Amino acid sequence: MAAELILDARNATGESPVWVPAEAALYWVDIPARTIWRWESASGAVRSWSLPEMVGCIAHIDGARWLAGLEHSLSIVTLGDDRAARCEPFVSVRHAAAGMRCNDGRCDRDGRFIVGTMALDMAAALPLGTVTAYGRDDGVRLLASGLITPNGLAFSPEGTTMYLSDSHPNVQAIWAFDYDRASGEAKNRRLFVDMKALPGRPDGAAVDAEGCYWICGNDAGLVHRFTPEGRLDRSLAVPVKKPAMCAFGGADLDTLFVTSIRPALPDEALADQPLAGGLFALDPGVRGIAEPRFRP
């Protein structure tokens, strides 16, 4: 099955798709546009909400409440009936330097929020990025540091393996960690996949019910599936060069939704990928796992 266009959203950087089963709806963000989007599968209705800062990632709490990784904080965002969203700072994010923001993030299987940070100037290749866990019961814990562009956060079905990538062109690696669900500690970091040998830079990711790891091959127009042993199992194509992150959704969690990036170029320069920045759906041939909620 070819990729299906769900929405020609023209997102500058579409990221962090999250399926909410109770609503049969997909939420995601456009980072530089400071926007949260929602697409309802039954009606096709689309809504969006503006935020005061760039938003790198989101996790559902309950109802209209979300946790959002902004530039300087994790904030609880309540989505209103109009385009307005109310933001209440939850915890400050301590950056290593000025000019940084939250990037990829998601909950572990127990409701902690895990989020990466990065410098806005990717060309500078500053290894200032970190990955930090925020938990209700065990506070703040640094999990990884020395990263340029942390991405690809995901957890195995049983929650005891954490995956993490660095999508910067200088790195292009995916690691696996042993993850202690009781304490929220990540140990024994090891190379899972060297993406320099494969098409695309390792961007956002998801894990299916069989324990395989799906990651967007940014710049290659592909979404790759790796077995738990790190073997490339299959690659699915999307009609844009920069798929950014994927998430399982649909009534049976058997659809793979993919967000993408629209480069800041004139439309005529994107003639070979006019749908760049769109939201797509793929048939992955497997089911996913429901995304955990954040527990404030």
Q: What are the domain boundaries of the chain?
A: 4-282
Q: Which of 9, 18, 74, 72 is nearest to 44 (CA)?
A: 9
State the pTM of this model. 0.97
Specify whether the CB–CB gap between 251 and 25 falls below 8 A: no
Going residue by residue through the chain (296 aa), what tens digit of pLDDT does each one get?
Answer: 689 999 999 999 999 999 999 999 999 999 999 999 999 999 999 999 999 999 999 999 999 999 999 999 999 999 998 788 999 999 999 999 999 999 999 999 999 999 999 999 999 999 999 999 999 888 899 999 999 999 999 999 999 999 999 999 999 999 999 999 999 999 999 999 999 999 999 999 999 999 999 999 999 999 999 999 999 999 999 999 999 999 999 999 999 999 999 999 999 999 999 999 999 999 999 999 999 999 98
Per annotation, catalytic residue among 81, 203, 233, 252:
203
Cα distances (angstroms) measured from residue 156 to each of 32, 70, 212 = 30, 26, 8
- Cα(21)–Cα(62) distance, integer angstroms: 12
Please give the pLDDT value at position 11: 98
Rg (CA), the chain: 17
Q: What is the C-alpha separation between 194 and 101, in angstroms, rounded?
A: 26
Indicate if 203 belongs to the active site.
Answer: yes
Q: Which two tokens stand for residue 21?
A: 């089963």
Please tell me whether residue 93 adopts helix, strand or coil conformation: coil
Single-letter amino acid code for the residue at 267: D
Cβ–Cβ contacts within 10 Å for residue 42, how many? 9
The Cα diameter of the chain in Å comes to 52
Nearest to 118 by CA among 169, 167, 155, 58: 167
Sheet containing strand 279-282, strands side by side = 4-7, 279-282, 255-260, 243-249
Q: Which residue has the tokens 């959002």?
A: 68
Q: Which helix (H) or strand (E) holds 67?
A: strand 65-69
Using alpha carbons, select from 15, 11, 9, 293 the residue that is nearest to residue 151: 15
CATH superfamily of 4-282: TolB, C-terminal domain (2.120.10.30)
CB 258 within 8 A of CB 217: no
Sheet containing strand 57-62, edge to edge, reads 57-62, 65-69, 73-79, 85-92
User: What distance in Å separates the CA atoms of residue 132 and residue 118, rounded to the nearest whole number?
Assistant: 12
- Given a contact cutoff of 8 angstroms between Cβ atoms, the answer to whether 162 and 109 are in contact is no
- Name residue 102's amino acid: C
Q: Which of 90, 78, 72, 187 is nearest to 135 (CA)?
A: 90
Which tokens in the block code for residue 182? 């009781």
